[in-house]
Structure 1
Amino acid sequence: MRCARNDMQSLINTLYSELLDPARNAPLPDGYFLDRTILSAKNTDVNEINTSILSSFTGEKVVYTSADSV
């Protein structure tokens, strides 16, 4: 894949264009995310990437909490 520009937002828009399309109603195919992976060496970069992707979604934010042990 080629990005229009050499920046993070262009990479996200290129990799996840179907996911970010508000008019899309059909479910994504199995393996959609397996073919679209962004690798990073630093956790701070991963947090920045995740925040940028999540802020692109429309709709109301929902937080699901869980516990691994009780």
Structure 2
Amino acid sequence: MMKTEPARAASALPTDLQSPRAKLVYLYLTTNGDATISEMGDSLGMKKLSLYSILKTLRQEGMVDCEGDTYALN
């Protein structure tokens, strides 16, 4: 069962995601559902400024939506 989870998550990655950090954020949201910038920063060890930039790009690509301060996959 544990071996199928990473394969399932990897196949869920959009092919047009090139940035390793964007992939990490996308997979985080795939695994955890919705999250705030602070939650993602704490869990992923990333700075908020980097996350804002990545999430802005993901939103422009239509992959992520934001409601208030919470981000989730579309």
**Which structure has more helix as a fraction of its residues?**
2
What's the TM-score, normalizing by structure 1? 0.35
**Which structure has more strand as a fraction of its residues?**
2
